[in-house]
A and B are shown apart, each in its own frame.
Chain A
Amino acid sequence: MTAPYAAPSSDRLARRLARYRAATPGPGAAGDPLPYRASASRDLARRLAAAVDGEMVDGADGVYVRVERPAIDLPVDRGRLATLPGQPPPDRSLVCLDTETTGLATAAGTLAFLIGLGWWSGTSYRQVQLLLPDQGEEGVLLDEVGRHLPPDAWLVTYNGRGFDWPLLVTRYRMMRRAAPAIGGHLDLLPHVRRLFRHRLDDARLGTVERMLLGVSRVDDVDGWEIPGRYLGFLRGGPAQPLAAVVRHNDEDVRSLARLLAHVEQHLGDPEVRSSAPRGDLAGLARAFRRERRLEEAIDCLDAALAADPAAERVLPLSARPIPEEPWWSPRGRVDFGGRPERRRVSTGWDRREAFSRPWDEGRIAVDRAHLLRRSGRVDEAIEAWDALACGPGRTAVVAAIEAAKLREHRSGDPAGAMAAVERGLHLADRRRARGMPEPALEADLRHRWRRLRDRLARAAA
């Protein structure tokens, strides 16, 4: 049995709409009074091409706009680059990619309307930008993007793992097509964060250019303005405001290459590297450690400790507070829409502070001591911890414990371990006396002390 469900006639809906329209204040309240104007894609493409100084490519399946930029000479020693952690193998071609979009969500309704691509031929770096003149022409544009991506090439992006590439994959799927295959993906954002965070205000590409590469942009367009400019054009507005967007994207794609070259030139060669800021070296050590290349990591830290901090030419950080949770942060949740998340209750301990603590000598030395232990250089590790145990603060107590652990379990020296524990207890007492008790560390030390006492007593018996 099926129920007779009589759908209301469509003209009732139409009449409802007419009344709704009459009752609703018209557009204009939203501040964007541009009326829709029908125009053929070719007209749009022609206007767009003229505004951004590009050419209209008119194919059988559709039309798009292409902007070719003069090639620049930008040599990168791929062999040397590949010695760094996380970098692509030297024999793979690289394609730098950056998109401009109509929004920040990688959901189905966000459009990539400008795709900037850059690649090397020899030492010259070439760039092309592909623009979408009308929403109906996306298929042709994506075809053209695919032609620039050889199947074994590595993508080079900035936050492209989380944004640009998934967005493009979404666009291909919207067309019911498979996204082009890629050989690998080098997202420079985590590298920048790991290596240069200590001397950047934030990790935006513009900041990286300014503070790291010494490039400053003139008349740049703010990221938040970009979607509005493009959507305005689509709705019949002027194409001229997009010229700045194209320049912005052009700079972004070039900066990807410059950043890669910067990393290769300043950090690729161990000799040159040793004169890098010690924070860079400490960050690089962590990158090496992630790949279990411990010896290289230790070398980096040795170089960092040997460097003269006074000689460093690092721009001072701006005094402004760290933004709450910047858009690129890996801790930020992806926006799925829906209800805004409830603010998490502060626990009083701010991870961001720990994250952006400066790389001072002590912090580098701690990293080095950990690495020495991990690489099995026990004696050196003990030496490093002993040195730290003579230093200031809570670190000294921790160092004493670490030194005791190594002596007891790795080098079979319970008496030495006992001495280290007693030194640790002494340090903890002093801290307690100064009103900075470390109950957890003290408990650990006391436990260790009792065990070592018994062990020594048994050995004596």
Chain B
Amino acid sequence: MRTYAPADAATVLGRVLEEPSLTRGIVHHEVIAAREASFADMPAWLDQRIVTGLAKRGIERLYTHQAEAIESIHAGEDVVVVTPTASGKTLCYSLPTLQAIAQDPAARALFLFPTKALGQDQVTEFGELAASADLSIITSTYDGDTPAPIRSTVRAAGQVVVTNPDMLHSAILPHHTKWFQLFEQLQLIVIDELHTYRGVFGSHVANVLRRLMRICAHYGSKPVIVCCSATIGNPAELAAMLTGRPARLVDRNGAPSGERHVLLVDPPVMEPASGARGSAVTLAQRWAMPFLRAGRQTIVFGRSRVAVELLLTGLRESLRESFGPRSRVRGYRGGYLPTERRSIERGLRDGEILGVVSTNALELGVDIGRLDVSILAGYPGSVAATWQQFGRAGRRQGTSVSVLVASGAPVDQYVIHHPEFLLDNAPEEARLDPDNLHVLLAHLRAATFELPFEPGEAFGPAPADDLLAFLAEEGHVRQAADGRWYWSSENFPASEISLRTAAPENVVIIDTTPNRPRVLGEVDLFSAQVLVHERAIYIHESVQYYVDRLEWHERKAYVHKIDVDHYTYANRAVTLKPLEVFAEAPSTGGTRKHGEVMVASLVTLFKKLKFMTDENVGWGPIDLPELELQTTAYWLTADRARDHWRRDDLDVALLGAGRAIQTIASVLLMVDPRDLGLVTQVRSPHAEEPTIYLYESVPGGIGLSERLWQRHDELLAGAADLIAACSCDAGCPACTGPRLEPNVDAKRLALRLLTELGAGARLAKAG
């Protein structure tokens, strides 16, 4: 197999499949057939210059999805375009923009990208398209790097303004009077990478868009909103939640694609006793080698920056040993200089670079052309992200290969052993809650600053008067004699909001190791209790820090670098009190509910645990005040379970089932497992019945719990599946959580409970 003769991907795959050491781990091999392109004619109304420009770039006809999107936008309809990577989404909004400006040079468009780098790519691409259509269009990026003298030019003359939500929120909207030329003539708002606007960030951005639409209405413009998204479960719903308006879904992909092989690979079990598996990083490396040797462009995704560096070093080393093209393999991650990144992207496009190892930095729409092979070292956390990363390989003709190498983590193991989960094409849903009160009120302040509210004017679902009256009590807002609500404070409310976090208060972590102390990061108050209490070992980018001092009232933690063989684990005692039930329904063996809850969290002591063995080597007290978190939760009760369960068994069963439900919930809803907290109560003081609560760790919640409530059955079935399929004997961290006591079969107890709660029906069906 040690050959350097160039070969196509199908041939190399054929050879690899004859290699027993690699084929042993293959859990599933799926071949997705090639697709023919389906074309539509250019719309007759399209400006002739644009048609000519497209022809110059080799585009004679449009794909059907492009044509559908463009026709809808032309008819003034909001659109959300959902097609795979590299199917020509950009054209769906750049053609209508060109058309609008070709018809009327005064017309303006606003392009929103979640990050700066993506925006810059699009400016270049859009500029090239405009140039080949002989249209001179001023396209300008407006972000934190835009020099001050250029800013005023952008404001006055930029026909297409490319920016990000943070800039829109903090620099454009509060200064809208300086942008009146843009807002008076705004015809098109483009929101690319829609799927990134979820959770807290999405909830903030939804409110920024509410503010944007108010300003547009003030200046008399009625822009059409075009969203583009990677494949997610609920694109149209997400667009509607984000923009507050229904949008037409365009998801019938007309772009061609070649044959694709998807392989799900599980590293072999190394230690049968503990079930420990080989490293995903090493195996991913071995899969990449034959393709690189045969000259196939390959991308390898690592889960972290460290993993990327490990993979890169390993690949180069193996290539060096075998005299392969090691200098043509590069790394790519955050922290690399922009110029370096640009040169790597260019190298990938023109084939100069053969292999690249990347974090999810290359998952978003950075243009690197199409590669032959993509290999994922670890499940990236969501089906949508998996397909984004798979999609980096895939030529329009010829075979492409996508490999997912699982790690030992519970989520990875669940996914890899349920291929239908990945391949049935039902990716997760993105959730956000624009009416999270914390977020809503913060943006209502900013909105009042920007423009007074008419009495009865809505902000979101309802007239804002009650909320404004509340702000008036704080003294920031005032109702004048004309009935309008005005901003009446010296503060600049937009500067008090960061779009990327929910809680306004964070603990700043300060590293005192260097001569000049530097800020290491921030954690929210809730996490600070367990992560940066005094004498904790705080781990940041795999470096250990010792917390010398936590000044709770100052919200500052002082740490220094340390190298020890243990980590700390703080015990959080959480109590939970339901405040209001939004909805409830009977379920098998109990009731499911969702609503608002008050979570009280008290941290009193921490343990020192050895790495690898988790051996307890000491403990210490923690003296921190109790924290209250008002949020939303989903909970289920096991009615009558107390009648026929031993209390101790029930305790273990609730916790084990809860852990598994938590894992499945994070998989289904595309969130970090830490975004959902778990509380179980054998005898709930409030519900009386044994209860499992899953609460959102974001204050006020972002709509996850309502969705969990709706998907109750899937959750239970998934949890039972996860536990049943786990290769451990009596429960392990991968299914029911760490074992608290020996000789307790958490696995059996949790499964029994889940079956009583109705998970059995589907299990039986699947089994």
* A and B form one complex: yes
Q: Interface residues, chain A, CB within 8 Å of chain B?
A: 1-5, 7-10, 12-17, 19-21, 23, 26-27, 30, 32, 34-36, 38-41, 44, 102-103, 105-109, 134-136, 166, 169-170, 173-174, 176, 227-228, 231, 234-235, 333-339
Give B701's nearest chain A residue, CB to CB: A16
User: Do the beta carbons of B474 and A109 come within 8 Å of each other?
Assistant: no
In the complex, B145 has a CB within 8 A of chain A = no
Query: Interface size bucket, B side?
Result: 35 or more
Q: Interface residues, chain B, CB within 8 Å of chain A?
A: 144, 148, 166-167, 170-171, 174-178, 180, 218-219, 234, 236-237, 239-241, 246-249, 435, 437, 440-441, 448-452, 460-463, 466-467, 470, 472-475, 478-484, 486-495, 579-580, 582, 596, 628, 630, 700
- Please provide the 9 A-B residue pairs with the shortest distance between their CB atoms, ordered closest to farther: A10-B462, A136-B482, A109-B449, A338-B170, A3-B236, A5-B240, A337-B495, A3-B237, A173-B177
Least Cβ–Cβ distance between A99 and chain B, in angstroms? 15
In angstroms, Cα B487 to Cα A135, docked, is: 9
Least Cβ–Cβ distance between B459 and chain A, in angstroms? 10
Least Cβ–Cβ distance between A307 and chain B, in angstroms? 39
Q: Can you identify 16 A-B contacts, CB atoms within 8 angstroms?
A: A2-B240, A2-B246, A7-B460, A9-B461, A10-B463, A16-B435, A17-B437, A19-B580, A20-B470, A35-B473, A102-B488, A102-B489, A107-B174, A108-B450, A231-B488, A337-B170
Residue in A20, A102, A234, A337 with the greatest tally of chain B CB atoms within 10 Å: A337
User: Do the beta carbons of A15 and B580 come within 8 Å of each other?
Assistant: yes
In angstroms, Cα B450 to Cα A252, docked, is: 29
**Chain A interface, DSSP helix/strand/loop, else mixed:** loop
Give A336's nearest chain B residue, CB to CB: B171
Residue in B167, B180, B448 with the greatest tally of chain A CB atoms within 10 Å: B180
Least Cβ–Cβ distance between A76 and chain B, in angstroms? 33
In angstroms, Cα B488 to Cα A371, docked, is: 53
Give A230's nearest chain B residue, CB to CB: B488
User: Do the beta carbons of A134 and B178 come within 8 Å of each other?
Assistant: no
Give A101's nearest chain B residue, CB to CB: B490
A5 in contact with B490 given A30-B475, A108-B175 (CB within 8 Å) = no
User: Do the beta carbons of A134 and B474 come within 8 Å of each other?
Assistant: no
Chain A hits for B218, CB < 8 A: 176
In angstroms, Cα B452 to Cα A174, docked, is: 10
Chain B hits for A228, CB < 8 A: 490
User: Do the beta carbons of B489 and A38 come within 8 Å of each other?
Assistant: no
Residue in B178, B241, B249 with the greatest tally of chain A CB atoms within 10 Å: B178
Least Cβ–Cβ distance between B186 and chain A, in angstroms? 15
User: Do the beta carbons of A231 and B246 come within 8 Å of each other?
Assistant: no
Chain B hits for A27, CB < 8 A: 473-475
User: Do the beta carbons of A337 and B174 come within 8 Å of each other?
Assistant: yes
Residue in A3, A333, A334 with the greatest tally of chain B CB atoms within 10 Å: A3
User: Do the beta carbons of A13 and B435 come within 8 Å of each other?
Assistant: yes
Give B237's nearest chain A residue, CB to CB: A3
User: Which single member of A1, A108, A231 contacts B174 (CB below 8 Å)?
Assistant: A108
Least Cβ–Cβ distance between A250 and chain B, in angstroms? 23
Least Cβ–Cβ distance between B173 and chain A, in angstroms? 8
In angstroms, Cα B492 to Cα A227, docked, is: 13
User: Do the beta carbons of A2 and B248 come within 8 Å of each other?
Assistant: yes
Given contact pairs A2-B240, A235-B488, A336-B175, a sample of 8 additional A-B residue pairs in the complex whose CB atoms are under 8 Å apart? A3-B237, A12-B582, A13-B437, A13-B461, A17-B466, A20-B630, A108-B176, A109-B174
User: Do the beta carbons of A107 and B449 come within 8 Å of each other?
Assistant: yes
User: Do the beta carbons of A108 and B472 come within 8 Å of each other?
Assistant: no
Give B170's nearest chain A residue, CB to CB: A338
User: Do the beta carbons of B177 and A3 come within 8 Å of each other?
Assistant: no
Chain B hits for A106, CB < 8 A: 175
User: Which single member of A12, A23, A339 contacts B630 (CB below 8 Å)?
Assistant: A23
Least Cβ–Cβ distance between A90 and chain B, in angstroms? 32
In angstroms, Cα B148 to Cα A32, docked, is: 37
Residue in A9, A17, A338 with the greatest tally of chain B CB atoms within 10 Å: A338
In angstroms, Cα B595 to Cα A16, docked, is: 11
Least Cβ–Cβ distance between B589 and chain A, in angstroms? 28
Give B474's nearest chain A residue, CB to CB: A27
Give A20's nearest chain B residue, CB to CB: B437
User: Do the beta carbons of A338 and B435 come within 8 Å of each other?
Assistant: no
User: Do the beta carbons of B461 and A136 come within 8 Å of each other?
Assistant: no
Give B171's nearest chain A residue, CB to CB: A336
User: Do the beta carbons of A36 and B177 come within 8 Å of each other?
Assistant: no
User: Do the beta carbons of A8 and B249 come within 8 Å of each other?
Assistant: no
Chain A hits for B483, CB < 8 A: 136
A16 in contact with B449 given A109-B174, A338-B494, A338-B495 (CB within 8 Å) = no
User: Do the beta carbons of B492 and A105 come within 8 Å of each other?
Assistant: yes
In angstroms, Cα B580 to Cα A166, docked, is: 49
User: Do the beta carbons of A34 and B630 come within 8 Å of each other?
Assistant: no
User: Do the beta carbons of B470 and A21 come within 8 Å of each other?
Assistant: yes
Chain A hits for B240, CB < 8 A: 2-3, 5
A3 in contact with B246 given A103-B492, A109-B487 (CB within 8 Å) = yes
User: Do the beta carbons of B236 and A337 come within 8 Å of each other?
Assistant: no
Chain B hits for A7, CB < 8 A: 435, 460-461
User: Which single member of B178, B234, B478 contacts A234 (CB below 8 Å)?
Assistant: B478
Chain B hits for A26, CB < 8 A: 473
Give B440's nearest chain A residue, CB to CB: A13
Give A21's nearest chain B residue, CB to CB: B470
User: Do the beta carbons of A41 and B480 come within 8 Å of each other?
Assistant: yes
User: Which single member of A10, A16, A36 contacts B437 (CB below 8 Å)?
Assistant: A16
Give A105's nearest chain B residue, CB to CB: B492
Give A337's nearest chain B residue, CB to CB: B495
User: Do the beta carbons of B630 and A19 come within 8 Å of each other?
Assistant: yes
Residue in A5, A10, A40 with the greatest tally of chain B CB atoms within 10 Å: A5
In angstroms, Cα B177 to Cα A166, docked, is: 10
Chain B hits for A333, CB < 8 A: 148
Chain B hits for A107, CB < 8 A: 174-175, 449, 492
Chain A hits for B171, CB < 8 A: 336-338
Chain B hits for A20, CB < 8 A: 437, 441, 470, 630
User: Do the beta carbons of B437 and A102 come within 8 Å of each other?
Assistant: no
Give A133's nearest chain B residue, CB to CB: B481
User: Do the beta carbons of B449 and A136 come within 8 Å of each other?
Assistant: no
Give A8's nearest chain B residue, CB to CB: B435
Chain A hits for B479, CB < 8 A: 36, 38
Chain A hits for B630, CB < 8 A: 19-20, 23
Least Cβ–Cβ distance between B254 and chain A, in angstroms? 17
Least Cβ–Cβ distance between A220 and chain B, in angstroms? 20
Least Cβ–Cβ distance between A70 and chain B, in angstroms? 32
User: Which single member of B177, B470, B490 contacts A103 (CB below 8 Å)?
Assistant: B490
User: Do the beta carbons of B246 and A5 come within 8 Å of each other?
Assistant: yes
